[in-house]
């Protein structure tokens, strides 16, 4: 007996809420850590006190954000054991390893250097403290590596196999898990997006000071160094996002088709839909504006290979479900007699489609006797929310292109030392502060919603991964998380606003 739809929806909503909230803090930690290292490198070379003051001030804001990220990240991971017990039991041997390594190696390393960074100014030489700051930056990025390896495996489960003796997924090639191409593409794209967030944060707060004619020398230097870094990383986000699109086209074809609202396979090379109104019920996109060839080039790196459409992929998935039914029947025979060589051979042949047969459990407890109608319904379930993915992706891309222009202008006018006179542009920088987080959260929505109905793509349906909880239990825990995270949000906002308004000249922690 599987959890009810309400339990599945509430479990998903609670994890989405905590994950999206946690990722408010992660990008700023990633971005500020490298900016701190760059600023302190300049201080080490020039010995000018203003650069040390910059490192200390932006370091305070980094520290507040880091503490909130730790608090929200710990509570999020406990949900694997509470709300997603079957998921943890079924794939914990694989998914748990990167998370354990992240905690034991990356997080402890990062936390250690955070403490030394704040309390080592008067205890370490300038060179030693600079080394600590760079190690802090590397530690924050190393932490992200292991999290995204785990998430990349959820998107594209390489290096693993189903063991019919234990009825669990197990690692058979840990190197393949570590070097998963989807994880690599996600990592560089996610980290570069974090650099954009950290960079725009520094630019926006510096613009705030300049608009009020405060800390002018401090703000101008901060703006220049952040603009130069931002000009590079904003271009990197788009370039690396293109690589992520290619990996999606190779390994998650349904997700790509849904993002593009491509209902039927087009002749190669496929066109990219810039604008339109997807209608999932009628399988059409109204008022579509397209760029010829572009999608084919992004998804296949060729002009001859077609990009499959949603309708065609559903037909393919119907066949995969039927193949999975054969594997499921062989698994039943192996549960009765684990030495059945014929059943072992059948399971090996069709085992890659076993997860597709599990989609049928939503419609019938006897998977091997499913009707054509049930098979078709299960195949239709592999189509995610097209309109949500379509618009989320386009808003994210629009933000990315906007950042390139914004940082290019900021770098140009900063180099000419004319930023102070362009009050309208300083206001644009300040009001653009939320946009990196909008783009990042939409990116995660695309990545995770586009994988549905799978919690592990092609392996385990989401509705099978949850714990057997009562709806009332989930409402209680969800209410607790909302209250806790609202309180943390108030504390974060209060502290950030307080120290931003104080500025470097009014911050007690900066005084010798």
pLDDT in tens, 194-230: 999 999 999 999 999 999 998 899 999 999 999 999 9
* Count of structural domains, the chain: 2
Cis peptide before 495 (omega within 30 of 0): no
> Using one digit for the tens of pLDDT, what is the confidence trace for 297-343?
888 888 888 889 999 999 999 999 999 999 999 999 999 988 899 99
Q: Are residues 346 and 439 in the same domain?
A: no
Look at residues 345, 368, 383 and tell me which one is the last residue of a structural domain.
383
- Domain membership flag for residue 257: no
Does residue 258 lie within any of the structural domains?
no
CA distance 447 to 307: 19
Using alpha carbons only, how large is the chain's radius of gyration in Å? 25
Give the structural domain span for 197: 5-252+384-510
- Rounded Cα gap, residues 438 and 430, in angstroms: 15
Mean pLDDT rounded to a whole number for the chain: 89
pLDDT tens, residue by residue, 30-58 = 999 999 999 999 999 999 999 999 999 99
Q: Which is more confidently placed, 445 or 76?
A: 445
Using alpha carbons, list the distances in angstroms from residue 419 to 200, 224, 426: 15, 10, 7
Q: Is the pLDDT of residue 108 over 80?
A: no
Cβ–Cβ < 8 Å for 35, 86: no
pLDDT value of position 510: 57
The conformation of residue 261, written as its DSSP 8-state character, comes to T
Local structure of 280: helix, strand or coil: coil
Q: According to the model, what pLDDT value does residue 455 have?
A: 93
Contact indicator for 136, 117 with CB cutoff of 8 Å: yes
- Say if residue 66 is in the same domain as residue 9: yes
* Close Cβ partners of 88 (under 8 Å, ≥ 6 residues apart): 80, 81, 95, 96
- 366, 383, 400 — which closes off a domain? 383
Taking the C-alpha atoms of residue 202 and residue 220, their distance in angstroms, rounded to an integer, is 11
504 pLDDT higher than 90: no
| Same-domain status, 318 and 224 | no
pLDDT range class, residue 511, cuts 50, 70, 90? low
In this prediction, residue 93 carries a pLDDT of: 85
pLDDT of residue 512: 46
Same domain, 411 and 429: yes
pLDDT at 495 over 70: yes
pLDDT of residue 200: 96
Domain end: 335, 361, 383, which one?
383
Residue 8 confidence (pLDDT) above 80: yes
Query: What pTM was estimated for this model as a whole?
Result: 0.91
- How far CA 128 is from CA of 150, 326, 501, in Å, comes to 33, 62, 31
Is the pLDDT at 74 greater than 70? The verdict is yes
The 10s digit of each residue's pLDDT in 454-493 is: 999 999 999 998 888 889 988 998 898 889 888 888 988 8
Note whether 373 and 407 are same-domain residues.
no
């Amino acid at each position: 007996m599987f959890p009810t739809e309400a339990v599945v929806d509430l479990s998903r909503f609670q994890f989405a809420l905590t994950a999206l909230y946690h990722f408010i803090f992660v990008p700023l930690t990633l971005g500020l850590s490298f900016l701190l290292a760059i600023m302190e490198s300049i201080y080490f070379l020039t010995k000018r006190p203003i650069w040390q003051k910059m490192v200390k001030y932006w370091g305070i804001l980094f520290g507040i954000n880091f503490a909130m990220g730790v608090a929200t990240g710990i509570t999020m991971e406990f949900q694997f054991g509470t709300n997603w017990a079957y998921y943890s039991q079924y794939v914990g041997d694989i998914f748990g390893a990167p998370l354990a390594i992240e905690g034991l190696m990356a997080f402890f390393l990062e936390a250690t250097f955070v403490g030394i960074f704040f309390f080592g100014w008067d205890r370490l030489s300038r060179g030693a403290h600079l080394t600590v700051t760079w190690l802090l930056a590397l530690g924050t990025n190393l932490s992200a590596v292991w999290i995204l390896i785990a998430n990349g495996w959820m998107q594209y489960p390489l290096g693993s196999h189903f063991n019919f003796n234990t009825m669990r997924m197990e690692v058979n090639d840990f190197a393949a898990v570590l070097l998963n191409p989807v994880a690599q593409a996600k990592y560089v794209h996610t980290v570069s997006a974090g650099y954009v967030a950290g960079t725009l944060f520094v630019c926006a707060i510096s613009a705030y000071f300049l608009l009020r004619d405060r800390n002018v020398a401090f703000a101008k230097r901060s703006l220049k160094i952040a603009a130069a870094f931002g000009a590079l990383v904003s271009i990197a986000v788009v370039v690396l996002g293109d690589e992520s699109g290619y990996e999606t086209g190779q390994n998650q074809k349904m997700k790509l088709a849904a993002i593009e609202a491509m209902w039927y396979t087009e002749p190669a090379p496929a066109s990219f839909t810039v604008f339109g109104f997807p209608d999932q019920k009628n399988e059409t996109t109204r008022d579509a504006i397209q760029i010829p060839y572009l999608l084919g080039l992004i998804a296949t790196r060729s002009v001859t290979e077609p990009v499959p459409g949603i309708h065609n992929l559903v037909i393919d998935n119907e066949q995969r479900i039927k193949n999975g039914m054969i594997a499921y029947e062989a698994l039943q025979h192996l549960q009765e007699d684990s030495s059945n060589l014929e059943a072992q051979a059948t399971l090996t042949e069709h085992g890659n489609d076993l997860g597709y047969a599990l989609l049928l459990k939503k419609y019938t407890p006897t998977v091997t006797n499913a009707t054509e109608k049930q098979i078709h319904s299960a195949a239709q379930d592999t189509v995610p929310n097209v309109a949500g993915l379509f618009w989320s992706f386009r808003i994210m891309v629009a933000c990315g292109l906007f950042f390139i222009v914004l940082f290019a202008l900021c770098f140009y006018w900063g180099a000419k030392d004319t930023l102070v006179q362009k009050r309208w542009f300083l206001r644009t920088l300040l009001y653009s502060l939320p946009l990196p987080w909008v783009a990042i959260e939409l990116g995660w929505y695309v990545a995770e919603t586009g994988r549905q109905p799978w919690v592990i793509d092609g392996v385990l349906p989401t509705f099978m991964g949850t714990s057997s909880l009562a709806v009332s239990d989930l409402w209680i825990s969800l209410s607790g998380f909302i209250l806790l995270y609202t309180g943390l949000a108030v504390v974060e906002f209060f502290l950030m606003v307080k120290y931003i308004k104080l500025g470097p000249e009014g911050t007690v922690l900066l005084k010798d």
